[in-house]
Amino acid sequence: MYGFEAMTFNIHGGYLEAIVRGHRSGLLTAADYNNLCQCETLDDIKMHLSATEYGPYLQNEPSPLHTTTIVEKCTLKLVDEYKHMLCQATEPLSTFLEYITYGHMIDNVVLIVTGTLHERDVQELLEKCHPLGMFDSIATLAVAQNMRELYRLVLVDTPLAPYFSECITSEDLDDMNIEIMRNTLYKAYLEDFYQFCQKLGGATAEIMSDLLAFEADRRAVNITINSIGTELTRDDRKKLYSSFGLLYPYGHEELAVCEDIDQVRGVMEKYPPYQPIFGKLSYGESQMLDKAFYEEEVKRLCLSFEQQFHYGVFFAYMRLREQEIRNLMWISECVAQNQKSRVHDSVVFIF
């Protein structure tokens, strides 16, 4: 019953909630970002990060550093923290934590399938996979020729199996089919995650509904913008939108017929929570939209920590760390390319 989590939550979830709140205090602050933005080289970045929780992960990396190395090592830290929480969690928190990684699993599946289609070496592809999305039979994905085989040979024994019901065909895998498969899987995953959180009820359901609805709406906007000028039909575009969220169903109807960014803006400005996001953009521009969405997401994720005794803090922490890694990647790229004036184009401050 909602409101009574305080009585029972700490029995099974108290330790891990304390752990994740402790991890939250280790997120980089604005002062840290200011120091990083003034670095001249990647070694300077490594030196500044050595004073943070990323220090032990970067200290043994030899010079010259590469931006991908910094991202990989910072991701390893996130993976270690996640695995520690997962092995300490009991049901239903353990299932909730596993749900958080299914998005990465989908990305890894698509990476392996796409790379195999392009005749890339499987080992090379496995090295590029996100560690949070790995599963035992992932290397076998290279054998499949179409989606039916993909499901039958590999994915039937993975958590992604239930999401394949809508996209099992015997068509050969090509770039368009893979893209549709990616988005269909992700849609099914989001809807399943949403239903799972609703079943948990209480503060978890309330907070996670808001966060997942925002994720679904952002995906709808990105799919619309990215499909402008492509061969994706309006019907196919509409099928990729999730069946929940603030934009469902009328916003989706309008987004499906949009043919340029200004029409998308016209649709989104009817929804008050999204007016400030599109208000930051000038007409015809979409380059800063990603940053605007990330800023809004970070705001909502930080707010979830204001309430106790719910699982949303775990989801929020994982997402905030991923945003931090994105920030570090962007800062590293700007420093490596000697474009420090562009650093603040995409860095989203968390605190």
Partner 1 sequence: MEEQVKKVDHQNHEEGAINKVSNPEIEEETLIFLDSLDHYLVLIDSLSNSLLHQGWMELAGARYSMGASRVNSALLNLQPHSAATTVEITHHQDGSLTKSPKFNLCKWASPDNKDSSLEKENIEEDEQLKENISSQRDSGNQESSPDSSIESVTNASPRESNGSEINASPRKIENPLQKERAKVLSMFGTLVSPKLRASQLTFETALETLVEIANARSSILKSYEALHRDMKSTQE
Residues 267-306 that bind partner 1 (CB under 8 A): 282, 284-287, 290
Distance in angstroms (rounded) separating the CA atoms of residues 176 and 277: 30
The window from 186-194, 241-249, 255-263, 306-314 that contacts partner 1 (CB under 8 A) reads 255-263
Residue 221, interface with partner 1 (CB under 8 A)?
A: no
Residues 63-82 that bind partner 1 (CB under 8 A): 68, 71
Residue 29, interface with partner 1 (CB under 8 A)?
A: no
Q: Which is nearer to partner 1, 137 or 230 (CB)?
A: 230
C-beta of 339: minimal distance to partner 1 in Å?
Answer: 6
Cis amide bond preceding 64, omega within 30: yes
Long-range contacts of 87-90 (CB under 8 A, 24+ apart): 88/15, 88/16, 88/19, 89/16, 90/12
Q: For residues 132 and 107, is the Cβ–Cβ distance under 8 A?
A: no
Q: What would the x/- binding string for partner 1 be over residues 176 to 205, using CB under 8 A?
A: x-xx--xx----------------------
The single residue among 108, 184, 204, 242 that binds partner 1, judged by CB under 8 A, is 108
- The label of the residue with tokens 């549709």 reads 180
Q: Which is nearer to partner 1, 51 or 176 (CB)?
A: 176
Distance in angstroms (rounded) separating the CA atoms of residues 350 and 81: 19
C-beta of 130: minimal distance to partner 1 in Å?
Answer: 6
Q: How many residues bind partner 1 (CB under 8 A)?
A: 62
Q: For residues 244 and 194, is the Cβ–Cβ distance under 8 A?
A: yes
Name the site residues for partner 1 (rule: CB under 8 A): 68, 71, 107-108, 110-111, 114-115, 118-120, 124-125, 127-130, 175-176, 178-179, 182-183, 222-223, 225-235, 238, 253, 256-257, 259-263, 282, 284-287, 290, 326, 329-330, 333-334, 337-339, 342, 345-346
